[in-house]
Chains A and B, each alone.
Chain A
Amino acid sequence: MSSVLIKDLTLKYDHLTILDKLNMDIQEGEFLVLLGASGCGKSTLLNCIAGLLDISAGEIHINGKNVTWAEPSERGIGMVFQSYALYPQMTVEGNLTFGLKNAKVPKPEIAKRIAKVAEILQIESLLKRKPAALSGGQRQRVAIGRALVREVKVFLFDEPLSNLDAKLRADLRIELKLLHKRLKSTIIYVTHDQVEAMTLADRIAVMKNGVVQQLDTPNGIFHRPINRFVADFIGSPSMNFFEGELVTLETGQIEFKTAELVFNVSDYEFTNATPVSGKASLGIRPEAVSTGANIPDNFFSCDITVELVEPMGSDTLVWTKLAGQNFRFRMDGKATVANGDKLRIGFNPSSSSMFDAENEDRL
Chain B
Amino acid sequence: MSLLQEPLIQRMLIVGLLVGAAAPVMGTYLVQRRMALLGDGIGHVALAGVAAGWLAGAAFDLAKQDALAIPGAVLFAIIGAVVIERMRSRGTAADIVMAILFYGGIASGVLLIGLAGGSNANLLGYLFGSISTVTWGDVWMSVGLAALILVIGLGLRAALFSVTHDQEFARSTGLPVDALNMVVAVLAAVTITVAMRVVGVLLVSALMIVPVAIAQLLTRSFSRTMHLAMGIGAVLTLTGIWITVFQDIQPGSLIVVLGVALYVVVAAVTSLLKGVRR
Asked whether A and B interact, the reply is no
